[in-house]
Structure 1
Amino acid sequence: MVSVAGCCCCCCGDISIHEERLIDPCRFIKYNQKMFRPDFKEIPENPGIYMYIGKNAEILYVGKAKNLRNRVSSYFSDFEGKPLRTKKMLQAARDVRFVITSSEAEALLLENNIIKTEKPRYNVRLKDSKSYPYLLITKEEYPKIKITRESGAKGEYFGPFVDVGSLRSIVDELLRVFPLRSCTETRFKEGKVCLKYQIKKCLGPCEKFISKNRYQGLVDQIREFFSGNVESVREHMEKEMQRLSDEMHFEEAALMRDRLRGLSKLFTRQSVVLPDDTKSVDVFVPHVFENVSGITAMFIRGGKVTGSRTEILEEFEDPAEVIESFVLQMYSVLRNFPEMIYISGLEDYETLSEAIEKLADRKLRFRKRGFASVKELAMKNGKVQTELYLKKLSRRKDIYEKLKKAIGTDKNISRIECVDISHLGGSSTVGVSIVSIDGEFSKPQYRKYRIRSGENDDFISIYELFCRKFENIKEGSEKPADLYIVDGGIGQLNSAIRAAEEANYDASFISISKGRSIKFMKDKQEESVESVHLPGRKNPLNFKKNDPLLLFIQKVRDESHRFAIDYSRKLALKNFKRSPLLLLEGVGEKTVKKILEVYPDIYHRKDMDAETLAENCKIPQKTAERVTKYISIH
């Protein structure tokens, strides 16, 4: 495998959301002599990857080719007929580089690695960088089941599942039917039953209240269920219920009856699409509805659909042209491979199958025909998801128009950043910025800042953060935003504006802060207690509580606050042994960790009462009183 310096394998980034269909001058781009054009004679005719490079040496686009010279030169023939996205990319390009590989399959794998690590602006990328959830049956003397996104632990994996919420619901119901243990290995080895045994959510294997063979029988039934053999599970339970009844173990028979009823609820949830097939099959169907491109993936296990997911592609991207890259990205995240793969409309499987089999380290079956019923179901799902997406897009357009009107600009708003400052006490002041693009959070572009000056001073901290941000934008390590939202009042807003003015940077700003309200009147007020501040305006904007624009700004602000608290918590726990709270009587390291996990900014919560601290952190009342007293005077 050929590698590129600076590239390594990591999780995928986000698929950008379909851009607003507004008139764009780039739509009418025409080729001109000033646009970059490579010398085709210098490009080899070998298989490999090509990379278009931007003005800041960033990778704009990476693609694979069987013949590099032919593929690159094709971009400059019939320029007017090229998609808008391709025109934009060529207009921004300043150079093209290439890496030769031994085969087209290796080129596809290398392309996939670069998409994951470099996140080129004009490549299609999977929306969710996290792996899909799986069900794991652990490899222990008394196994347990758990939901995981990792594949390193020993045991059997079932999945993938798309909706982790639904999977949790299924697992909860399964554990009512088959009450396996859920405790840690350390707790299990203590050999004493816990509360879950008392409430009949565990059969007490730790004290041998259930035999190993009988316990393993419950595990086998869960295994059968997730393998798709639900009828055999039903039959087994019915026979067991009858046996218990015949032997006059009526209480156990009644318990088995209740479990059978609970399991019947799960049977009805799964739709059978391949009734005579027990193989694991993944189906990918590209589609275009109302000029919106997408790809729907369906995961089938034991003839039943375990999950379906539709990814919306950018602009008017032809899904058939990116299906290979999309599927390979998905399996590089999943790292779990079915027995069979079917991709609608893909005739030449040779390159993709070779690349996926290298990832899987085993042979896989690829089907070119069949699965008509599954394809039809995938198309229906894709159409529904596209319609929901367009409705969501329409609501976003209304909100963005209101936002433009509120701040008094005609400029298009797509990229919004929100900045928040968090104080941990002493020198541990941190700042964060989160990114929302077309209404969707782009987590790979979130940034963290260790504030070097202005301890516990929001104004100075905001000023420093934006000074560094504008310097990063100038150097090309960060992208500029169409609007910056500052968590704070007019003082924080002015600090951000001062940083922009000194950097000679033209940017739009607003800030959001909480106003005052009488506690018992809070729920009766029609207007929100939060205010939005604009530059140069003395009085803030006040919205009604349910105003869509305010709710959107709050959503972005809350995400920045969550990210700041998470960052603060990690730093606080990292340095918890230096906490001044350890000097207090009755406060040890465990207590400090409990407090910092809930309140990483505890040192600045002067109004914290002991009762709330004790309840939320699960610490004694007297200890909480000592902590709150210390916080209030320091």
Structure 2
Amino acid sequence: MPEFNYKDELVKIPLDPGVYRYFDEKGEVIYVGKAKSLRNRVSSYFLKSNQHDRKTKRLVSQINRIEYTIVLSEWDALLLENQLIKQLQPKFNILLKDDKTYPFICITDELFPQVYVTRNLDRKKGTYYGPFANLRSMHTLLDMFKALYTIRSCQLPLTKPNIEAGKFKVCLEYHIGNCKGPCEGLQSAEDYNVEIDLVHHILKGNLSFPQQYFKDKMLKAAEEMAFEQAHSWKTKIEHLSNFQSKATVINPRIGNVDVLTIVSDEESAYLNFMKIKEGYMIATQTFEVKKKLDESDTEILTMMIVEMRETYGNDAKELISNLKPDLDMKLDIVVPQIGDKKKLLDMSMKNVMHFRREKAERREVEASATSSKKDRILIRLKSDLQLKTLPRHIECFDNSNIQGTNPVAAMVCFKDGKPSKKDYRHFNIKTVIGPNDFASMNEVVGRRYLRMIAENQPLPDLIVVDGGKGQLGAACDALKDLGLYGQVPIIGIAKRLEEIYFPEDSLPLYIDKKSESLKLIQQIRDEAHRFGITFHRDKRSKSSLISELEGVEGIGKITATKLLKYFGSVKAIRESSVEKLTEVVGAAMAAKLRAYFDTMAN
């Protein structure tokens, strides 16, 4: 097979509307698309490769042959594309499979038709209504039919020869008044099919016809003084009115319209479809479509318009949507701004937004259930703080400054929700004179990340500052000086009410006190405080020991520090021999130390 050369192929493709098919080297169809101009659309895949996402580049790399079909209009191209995708199911297309998930109501083509529920479509058997995404509304209809009409529930083959031959006997349904016995010829086909016609009208959304039929029957019975029959017809009218009152009421002046709205994220599109007939909703479905090639909302909406109208019927001449495709369609698509149609659009949008939120929450729960506890907490923390990435590496800073003495700071590091003690750091405050928590925080944050940049170390996924808006602002200033502000998420946690502060936001976030994510932040903050206090205490103790040694004549801070470093404590120095002391500070100084401690002991 000769090597595929797209330049040679492109010049052969016409400018007419049509459908194109891409084949791989195995001869399998990998993508089907429609176009207003075949050459322009196909050319865009090869001539604008730098503008494509990763998935589209992968598609283009696998194209080995192109075929196309010219059609009369863009609408015809859309219809053909829909059929080919279902037939061929290419791996790079959104798959538009026939909907067998939801049930239909079937009215059979028989002498005495049956009315039953099925999930399998065989158009040769009869007329199908649906699908019913809401099973409750479907069963409400079936219950109403049972209350209004005497339609048989059996599946007997009630042909004229079988009935005339007396093959069947009436069942219990006849004796309790739910059936008029057509199996024994007790009801004519004409009388039976009057009620079947009324069922057809209701399923088509035309309630006015059966209402008028029952009203005429009631009035006629009343005129003939048959009050019991008149009451029976009145009861049927009430059943019908009760059903209509439970249905979603739409302004009847809107007429017969379809509604289809769409919202999306990076992975999926979410759509809500509603079919409106003569003042009430007869069908609705909300569903998710997984993206394959980063398709736009308009592209997906266009495909789903064809799919929904093929499934639910294409009698409506108008479709209400939140988008209007740039496509010459045999359908009036409107995006209403005011009035009853806008209310209808808002209702559909509310449904689709709620559906998307439910899907996101369900995925989060599933991710939490399948991940370990540490990942579940990090996923929750990512959601609570609205972070872009999972905070696997968190660093927290705390100042320890008791009564203005020995100002120090501490940084603790948590990785995958656990302390990483080898990464803990202490800081002696160098540039700040006196107790100044804000300036101290600015110094240590700046020193920490200046060093990480210099050593080319990975930055954390989240920085936590122990303190409120002041400490957070000081830390943010340090990041700004380093050019890191905005690159690493940073928050402050105030102790009093456990408030979470974000940069440039005066209003704090209050996470549920029982939340695992807040408990993790508190654990990190408390660990930073403990680590800082321990360092501060050690430093104060060391200062006190050095001060005590400086009481010996001739011993200054340098010598005192040298002794403490060698012996570890004043007690060890006090108990050491002159010989041992001489090894560290010389004979003269050792003699002075020994004399000092001997004098203190007496």
TM-score normalised according to structure 1 size = 0.48
1:198 aligned onto 2:201: no
Whether the 8 Å CA contact 2:255–2:276 is kept in 1: the answer is: no
Shift of residue 320, structure 1, vs aligned partner:
0.3
After superposition, residues 381-400 of structure 1 pair within 5 angstroms as 381-400=351-370
- Once superposed, what is the RMSD of the aligned Cα atoms? 3.9
Shift of residue 275, structure 1, vs aligned partner:
0.8
**In 2: Cα distance, 1:38 partner to 1:233 partner:** 65
**In 2: Cα distance, 1:227 partner to 1:247 partner:** 33
1:152 aligned onto 2:101: no
1:338 aligned onto 2:315: yes
**In 1: Cα distance, 2:361 partner to 2:371 partner:** 16
Whether the 8 Å CA contact 1:134–1:161 is kept in 2: the answer is: yes
* Equivalent position SS for 2:32: strand
**In 2: Cα distance, 1:179 partner to 1:348 partner:** 50
- AA partner of residue 283 (structure 1): V
Whether the 8 Å CA contact 1:65–1:104 is kept in 2: the answer is: no
The 1:155/1:90 distance shift into structure 2, 3 A limit, reads closer
- AA partner of residue 318 (structure 1): S
The 1:277/1:343 distance shift into structure 2, 3 A limit, reads closer
* Equivalent position SS for 1:313: strand
Aligned to 2:283: 307
Aligned to 1:287: 263
Aligned to 2:199: 222
Whether the 8 Å CA contact 1:147–1:168 is kept in 2: the answer is: no
- Unpaired runs of 5+ residues, structure 2, are 376-602
Q: Which moved more, 1:118-127 or 1:74-83?
A: 74-83
Query: Which of 250, 270, 277 is matched with 2:247 structurally?
Result: 270
1:325 aligned onto 2:294: no
Matched length:
356
The 1:321/1:187 distance shift into structure 2, 3 A limit, reads closer
Tell me the alpha carbon deviations over residues 24-60 of structure 1, each in whole angstroms, 9 at most, x when there is no partner: xxxxxxxxxxxx9953342234144334444655433
* Equivalent position SS for 1:396: helix
Whether the 8 Å CA contact 1:112–1:328 is kept in 2: the answer is: yes
Tell me the alpha carbon deviations over residues 569-601 of structure 1, each in whole angstroms, 9 at most, x when there is no partner: xxxxxxxxxxxxxxxxxxxxxxxxxxxxxxxxx
Whether the 8 Å CA contact 2:85–2:96 is kept in 1: the answer is: no
**In 1: Cα distance, 2:66 partner to 2:316 partner:** 37
* Equivalent position SS for 1:69: helix
After superposition, residues 87-486 of structure 1 pair within 5 angstroms as 87-90=57-60, 93-105=62-74, 107-126=77-96, 129-130=99-100, 133-148=103-118, 149-150=120-121, 152-153=123-124, 158-159=129-130, 161-164=132-135, 166-186=137-157, 189=163, 190-210=167-187, 214-234=191-211, 236-237=213-214, 240-241=217-218, 244=221, 249=226, 252-253=229-230, 255-256=232-233, 258-279=235-256, 281-288=257-264, 293-315=269-291, 317-331=295-309, 334=311, 336-342=313-319, 344=321, 345-350=323-328, 352-353=329-330, 365-368=331-334, 371-401=341-371
**In 1: Cα distance, 2:266 partner to 2:33 partner:** 27
Specify the structure having the higher radius of gyration (Cα).
2
Whether the 8 Å CA contact 1:124–1:326 is kept in 2: the answer is: no
**In 2: Cα distance, 1:121 partner to 1:305 partner:** 35
Tell me the alpha carbon deviations over residues 104-128 of structure 1, each in whole angstroms, 9 at most, x when there is no partner: 5454444333311222222112365
- AA partner of residue 148 (structure 2): V
Shift of residue 385, structure 1, vs aligned partner:
1.5
Whether the 8 Å CA contact 2:133–2:284 is kept in 1: the answer is: yes
- AA partner of residue 221 (structure 1): L
Whether the 8 Å CA contact 1:297–1:309 is kept in 2: the answer is: yes
**In 2: Cα distance, 1:212 partner to 1:68 partner:** 55
**In 2: Cα distance, 1:328 partner to 1:232 partner:** 30
**In 2: Cα distance, 1:250 partner to 1:391 partner:** 58
After superposition, residues 613-632 of structure 1 pair within 5 angstroms as none
**In 2: Cα distance, 1:283 partner to 1:37 partner:** 44
